[in-house]
Amino acid sequence: MRLKTGQLDISCHPRPQLHLQWLQELHVQQLREVLAMKKLTPEQIGLDFEALLALIGEERALNLIGQEKVLDLIGEEQVFEDLLRRKGEQWLHEQLERRAQPSEEPETP
């Protein structure tokens, strides 16, 4: 079973219609439970994560994961190294200096 950009190829299964109905009706949580119960991975049933990501979009996927979790997964050191490589040392210094300056907000009495 392979999900291809909006299409499901289930021709390799003996009862393709039954498998298609099963996938369409299962909620994600139920799918997780069934996979765990049968000791299967999403890859073993042919889920194509790239197609799923294309379906929901990268921005929505990041929103679902959350910025903090994304940073935790990447790692602060790696984020720093990537910024240094992409933007350069001068850019990083400018950003740090800009953030270190006191804000120019008027004081309230």
pLDDT digits (tens, 9 = 90+) for 28-72: 778 888 899 999 998 898 888 898 888 888 999 999 899 999 999
Using DSSP, state whether 32 is helix, strand or coil: helix
pLDDT tens profile 70-98: 999 999 999 999 999 999 999 989 998 99
Cα(18)–Cα(21) distance, integer angstroms: 5
Residue 18: pLDDT band with limits 50, 70, 90: low
Cα(76)–Cα(66) distance, integer angstroms: 15
Contact 19, 1 (CB under 8 A): yes
Cα(26)–Cα(100) distance, integer angstroms: 52
